[in-house]
Structures are given as C-alpha cells and as structure tokens.
Chain A
C-alpha cells in the first residue's frame, strides 16, 4: 500500500503546470519573464524605428560639443565655450549645492520645531502645529514660487541704497540699507554677500581635463587633518583614562588642534572678506547669490522641515516614559538623560524616515525649473536637450544621474543607520 505522502509518478499532466503548487511558481515566472522580454523588445523595436524615422542615432558624442550658453551660478569654471559635459557638471554641482544647504537648514529647523512642538508651553506647541500643518498641506511649488516672487518683486533696487550728498547733508537715511553690519545687500537682482579672498593664494593646478583650486583643497586637507589629530588625541586620553583612571585635561588641546592650524594658514595666505559696495548703478565686489538659488533653498528647507519635525516628534514620543524615569532614578540630570538615554534610542526611530526626507529634498531640487534655476535638469535636461534635440540620451542620462545620487545617499545613510541600530544578540 502506498504511503499517503507518495507522489504519484509518471502521471504528469499539462494542467499540473497551473494547478500543482510545485510547478505553478515556475509557470508564473516563465510567463512573466516572457511577457517582460516581449515588452522590452517591443519598446526597443519602437525606439529603433522612431529614431530611424527621425534620422537620429543613439550616441552621446554631443556631450563634447560646444555648449554655447551661459550659466549664472557656477561652482567650477565654465564659459559658453565649454562643452555640454562641462555644463552637465556645473548643473550637477548646482543641484548638489541646493540639496546640501537644504538638508542642513531643514534638519536644524525641523529638529527645533519637532522638539518645540512637544514643549509643555501651550502657545509654542500650537504655533508649531500650525506651522507643520500649513507647510505639509500646501504644495512645495507654491512655497518656491512665493518665496521667489517676494524676493524679486518686493526687495529694493540697488539705487535705493545710494546716499547722495543732499541726503547726507539733510541727515536722511537712504530708502534701503544693508544688513548684518553692512555686509549683505538684498536687492531685486540678487543677494550680495561678502566673498572670501586670499592675497597669497596657492593658485590653481591645471590638469588638462579639469583645474584644481589648490587653496580650497589645501584648507580642506588641513581641516580634515585637524579633525583626525583631534580624534587621535581623544583616543589617547581615553586609553590613559582606562589604564590609570585619570583623564588628562584635553579641552584646550582640542581647541588648539582644531582651530590653530586653519587660522595660521588663513592668515598666512592673507585671507580677507571682500564686502560688496554700491558702485554706479549696481553692487560690485562680493558674491551675487541669485534669487533662484535662495528661493529654492529657503522654500525646500521650510517645506522639508515640517516633515522632519513630525519625524523627530514621533521618534521622541516612541521612547516610553519608563526610559526617562529610569534615567532619573539612576540620578542622571535632565540634559544627560536626553543625551545618553533618549536621543540614542530616538535616533533609531528617526533615521530611516529622515533618509527618505533627504532623498525627497534632493529630488525636489528639480523644481528649480519653476524659478529658472540652472541645476542638472536645467542644463542637461533643459538647454542642452533643446539645443541638441537629443531627448532620449539627455533624459536617460539625467535619470541615471538622479538614480545614482539617490542610491549613494541612501547607501551612506543606511551605513550610518546600521551603526546606530540596535545590536540584537
């Protein structure tokens, strides 16, 4: 007598491909694979036909042609004689600049608001709730457009800053004045901020395909070196503390190591600020920050801060009261309780959604199109695309770059996330 578990052999029927769970998953997967391959083939075939019909080829050599357009904000040298690839790099750096400053401001603002929303102060709690609801429920595009319009239509013209002789004699103030100790001027053309200059800079190193600003890299190297030396110092102090029980005094050494080399270097290179001043009809000197950059950064920070505030609030609320009570029972003071008990645990809850907010912010920089900010989408996906007519190549390349940025950010943040995650044993 056959056991119940025996599978009847040699009775394979075609219907078993659908009804037998042993084979069904293979059937489904093969069908899916075939359908997918057919779809891809269909798309590729259509694309090839369409390209042929338009007399175009799929190649990226246009990237090395002359771009021929100007970009207002450039973090690396660029002229309209540079090629499209160079324009792409400038745009990419502009995207990253907005994303970088946006993430920093949004984090600072978001954490502050999230903590304040939990405050026992009724008024502040309500105000922060209003802020969060207002920014979360209104499209980001509105905030970008509104900030831009306000900056460019309500700010004074450069000539309003002028003090004429008659006005000086009559003791009248000009229609507009500069801010922060007369160093920053906001006009309807942009924001003029002081520029860092070096009398004896190290110059640039031309590597042929790109040029390096040696001054910038030297300062960066010194800062990184100082931080590394400081960490060595602290590690040595800790080792001594564990060996002898006494921790040597390190705070003045730390300050010295962190700041002295940079200051010495800046003084040696003759660092000074060039303050913008009114010459003729416009401000000269300093750096002119375009309103498109300011509006985009401000709006993105304000908008994302509302989301980060909610994340921070949820993270702190997720830590049960027992944790802080236990810390108080151990005799920890309130700020040490926050630093040692609450925050490390709350961070585990906060970081994963925070990563996706950073990603969202980075992707949302593409809304710079609304204020004509020349980011990656504005250069590669905008002017380059229109000039060369290579929609397919430009769009694919742009998506690939955005995808790479997203994946890099999420990989880096996930690494950080792993390091603070609960170590389950």
Chain B
C-alpha cells in the first residue's frame, strides 16, 4: 500500500526536497543569451557580425565624438585644438560651427531682433495643436500647455522680446492653461484663430490684414445664416461663399488701409526671402499637412463617387500628381505659374510652393484614404442608407470616422513624407535647412570642408520630429482601437 510505505520502508524519503535552482545554462543572462544570441550556428555568426560592426562604428565615432570642440572660430582652428589636445592625427567633431551658425539653421536670414516672433509662433503652434491631438484630455492638455508656458518663458526672455509682446504671450498661454482646467473643449477656438495669428507673427505688417481676412469667414457665416431661411441651405451656402470671395477681392484691402490709417498697429514686415532653415520647413510642412488632409478626403470621396465626371476628374488629378516627381511640381511653381496666371500677377514664392506641396500630399492622401474606404464592409454604407442619412451625414458620422481610423498609420507616414520633402524647396531657391543653409555654411571660408557636423545636426532634428510623429500615430492607433481581439 503506497500510503504506508513512508512509514514502513526506510529508503523512502519522508520530506519534500527543497527545489534546486535551474542549472547555470537554463537561467538568467546565460539562458537569455543562449536563446536570443547563440541558438544556431547561423545566429552565432550573425551575432558576431553584429558585434563586430558595432565595435567598428564605435571605435571610429567615439574618439571623434569625445574630441569635440565647442569653441572655435574656424574649422582649421578646431583641428588645431583637436591636434593639441588629442595628439596628431586624431579626429574630432567641430561643433563650434553649430554654436556660431545655429541661428541660420533655425531661422535663415530672419532679422535677429525679430527672432522672438518665430519662437512665439512655434510655442503657440504647439498650444494650438494640443486641443486637436489630445481632444478633451485635461491632463495631457495641462502638461502640453504647461510645457509651452515654460518654453516661452525661457526662450522669449533669452530672445530679448519686447515687454508688451512678452506680457501678452504669457497672459495668453496662462489663460489657455486656466481654460484647459475648466472647459478644455473651448480651446479649439484658439486653434481656429491660430493660422491668422501665425501669419501675422511671421510675416508681420499691419495687424488689420489678418483680422479683416478672418472677417471674411464671418461674412460667409452671416450671409449663410441670414439667407438660409429664405432660399434654402445649399443656395445660402453658395451665396455665403460668393459674398466672402467678394469681400476678399474688393473690400479687404481698402478696409485694411483705412483701419491702418485710423489705428496704426503692426509689426515690422519680413520678406519671404529672409525665411529659411527649420522655420521654413515647419511653415511649409505644417501648412501643407493642415490643408492636404481635407483636400485628400474630398479627392478620395470623389474617386469613390458614382458620378462619372467627378470620378474622372479626381482620378485624373490623383494619377497625374502621383506620376510626376515633386521636383517637377516645384519647378512648375517657380517657372510655369507665371504662364498660367493672368499677366502681371506675381505672388509669394513660399505661398506657391505651399500650394503645390499641398496638392502633392493631397493626391497621396487620397489614395491612402481610398484604401481605408475600400476596407469598410459594404454593410456600413447600407446601414447608413437604411437610417435615412444623406450622403454627407453618412460620410461624416459613419464612413469617414472608421475609414480614417483604419488609415491612420498610412496618413501619418504621408505626413512624415511631406515634412521630409520640404527640403526639396532648396531647388527653387528657398533656403531649406539641409541644402540651402548647409551650402551657405560650407561656402564660408572658415567652415570649408566641414560635412559631418551640419548633416548630423540637421538630420537629428528631422529625426526627432519625424520619429515623434510616427510614435504619436502608434499612440493614436492604440487609443482608437475598439475591436476586442
């Protein structure tokens, strides 16, 4: 009988053995390394190859990095300092170039006395984006707005901001911080007003031009509200648009001039050719991203439409824009628009480039969103029809929220592509951070022959922005995930 054995048979153990630790090869770092690094001969070879390449990279780059020189007047002086401190033949990074020229990489030839304007515009950009990116999340909004407040406090005081502007900016950002605690939803109004504010901050001029231009939208809304009870919604919207266009074409400029004479107030105006560096890249990138999304959605819907003419035009536009390189479109902006517009018109090169970049990104976005639309099951469209929703309501409430959610990763990578493509504006004479500014720096007799440092500096900033965008898209994807897999 088994239960009696313990008492009757002397060689049967009557207590449990204490558990022994697993053998050396089956635990801790050794096990992990055996499984993840040295599981098969091929893996051993690959690991060794990887270690070898890391070693090669570090042994080449580390001394260079450690011998960095931060204070010098020229590249040759840098090299002398490196040779003096680390011996002949040693290499060292010459970050002194960045120390001397960082402002060109960031602002181009923007006048130094006015640097506080792009700095403020960037801070307010983040503040304006926050309500969109973190809709209604009080905690995240507070964190972002608080960070913007600290950023503005530090950078604006460093940039010798005029007292009035400094005070107004602080009041504005603290007011937003307060509003975020009470009614975070209302912050979106700032986002709506931001484009006009940003335009005025960056280009300067009379404060009345953005205000009067924004008033055009007020005219649109007023006409729409007044006319809709009499002539119906669609004609009223059309009338509103016509009224707004008339406002911008004929009333805008005289009103601005009159107001400017009556109450002169403005900033020193800055020409577009003084823009450069990351200021230019961000202006083009953010404007392009903002406007390409709605246009892309419209094009995608047009391509999915049942109406033959609308569909043909959308397909033609999308395929044409996707079939040619961006550079040819940029050259169109700089060379051909003068042929296509009425004789004598000439408008800002940055604006022209933004328009073409926007169209380019919109065509790519349209294809991405079309993929999202195609991924929706047919039943969603039919259910929307069955509920009696009209086309736009069905799109707005049922179709687009799902289609856009599916295509978030692809949309964001299109945005990243657009932001990277802003560097191509160098070829139409604008001063982008990568080619334009770096060329200027490298053409300087003091810094001739420097190449790693400017490219690493510019590349690092691009990397941070683009990597941040792709991480945000992963966060958004997680947040909006509603399936229960």
Binding site for B on A (CB under 8 A): 15, 18-19, 25, 28-29, 32-33, 36, 43, 46-47, 49-51, 53, 116, 119-124, 127, 133-134, 136-142, 145-146, 149-150, 153, 359, 363-364, 366-367, 369-370, 377, 381, 385, 391-392, 395, 398-399, 402-403, 406-407
B134 within 8 A of A: no
Contact of B342 with A366 in the complex, beta carbons under 8 Å: no
- What per-residue 1/0 map shows which CB atoms of B301-326 lie under 8 Å from chain A? 00000111110010000011011111
Residues of chain A within 8 A (CB-CB) of B313 are 32, 36
Residues of chain B within 8 A (CB-CB) of A385 are 335
Interchain CB contact (< 8 A) of A406 among B50, B309, B322, B455: B322
Beyond A137-B467, A139-B420, A142-B423, list 12 extra A-B contacts (CB 8 Å).
A29-B308, A32-B307, A50-B338, A120-B43, A121-B39, A121-B47, A122-B36, A123-B46, A138-B420, A145-B438, A153-B449, A153-B451
Given contacts A32-B313, A46-B341, A399-B328, contact A142 B307 (CB under 8 A): no
B283 within 8 A of A: no
Contact of B458 with A402 in the complex, beta carbons under 8 Å: no
Contact of A146 with B455 in the complex, beta carbons under 8 Å: yes
Contact of B339 with A139 in the complex, beta carbons under 8 Å: no
B381 within 8 A of A: no
Q: How far is the CA of A372 from the CA of B311 in the complex (A)?
A: 40
Name 19 A/B residue pairs within 8 A (Cβ), A-sorted. A32-B309, A32-B310, A46-B343, A120-B35, A120-B39, A120-B43, A122-B36, A123-B36, A123-B47, A124-B46, A141-B426, A142-B434, A145-B435, A359-B322, A377-B328, A391-B335, A392-B336, A395-B328, A395-B336
- Give the 8 A-B residue pairs with the shortest CB-CB distance, closest first: A137-B466, A122-B36, A406-B323, A363-B325, A366-B325, A139-B420, A403-B323, A29-B309
Chain B, interface size category, equals: 35 or more
B327 within 8 A of A: yes
Min CB distance B348 to A, Å, is 19
Contact of B449 with A121 in the complex, beta carbons under 8 Å: no
Q: How far is the CA of A49 from the CA of B340 in the complex (A)?
A: 9
Min CB distance A132 to B, Å, is 11
- A/B pair count, beta carbons within 8 Å: 156
Interchain CB contact (< 8 A) of B340 among A28, A47, A122: A47
Min CB distance B312 to A, Å, is 10
Q: How far is the CA of A84 from the CA of B238 in the complex (A)?
A: 50
Contact of A145 with B46 in the complex, beta carbons under 8 Å: no
Q: How far is the CA of A364 from the CA of B328 in the complex (A)?
A: 11
B459 within 8 A of A: yes
Contact of B339 with A46 in the complex, beta carbons under 8 Å: yes
Contact of A133 with B467 in the complex, beta carbons under 8 Å: yes
Interchain CB contact (< 8 A) of B462 among A47, A139, A391: A139
B19 within 8 A of A: no
Interchain CB contact (< 8 A) of B434 among A137, A141, A363: A141
Interchain CB contact (< 8 A) of B339 among A122, A369, A392, A407: A392
Contact of B47 with A124 in the complex, beta carbons under 8 Å: yes
Interchain CB contact (< 8 A) of B46 among A119, A142, A146, A370: A119
Contact of B37 with A122 in the complex, beta carbons under 8 Å: yes
Contact of A121 with B37 in the complex, beta carbons under 8 Å: yes
Interchain CB contact (< 8 A) of A369 among B39, B427, B438, B462: B427
Residues of chain A within 8 A (CB-CB) of B336 are 391-392, 395
Residues of chain B within 8 A (CB-CB) of A15 are 232
Contact of B36 with A364 in the complex, beta carbons under 8 Å: no
Given contacts A138-B463, A142-B455, contact A121 B46 (CB under 8 A): yes
B332 within 8 A of A: yes
Residues of chain A within 8 A (CB-CB) of B309 are 29, 32-33, 36
Q: How far is the CA of A139 from the CA of B427 in the complex (A)?
A: 15
Min CB distance A211 to B, Å, is 31
Min CB distance B391 to A, Å, is 9
Residues of chain A within 8 A (CB-CB) of B36 are 120-123
Residues of chain B within 8 A (CB-CB) of A367 are 327, 424
Given contacts A32-B309, A137-B466, A142-B462, contact A391 B46 (CB under 8 A): no
Min CB distance B408 to A, Å, is 15
Contact of B340 with A43 in the complex, beta carbons under 8 Å: yes
B421 within 8 A of A: yes
B234 within 8 A of A: yes
Residues of chain B within 8 A (CB-CB) of A53 are 343
B221 within 8 A of A: no
Residues of chain A within 8 A (CB-CB) of B416 are 136-137
Q: How far is the CA of A392 from the CA of B455 in the complex (A)?
A: 35
Min CB distance B387 to A, Å, is 16
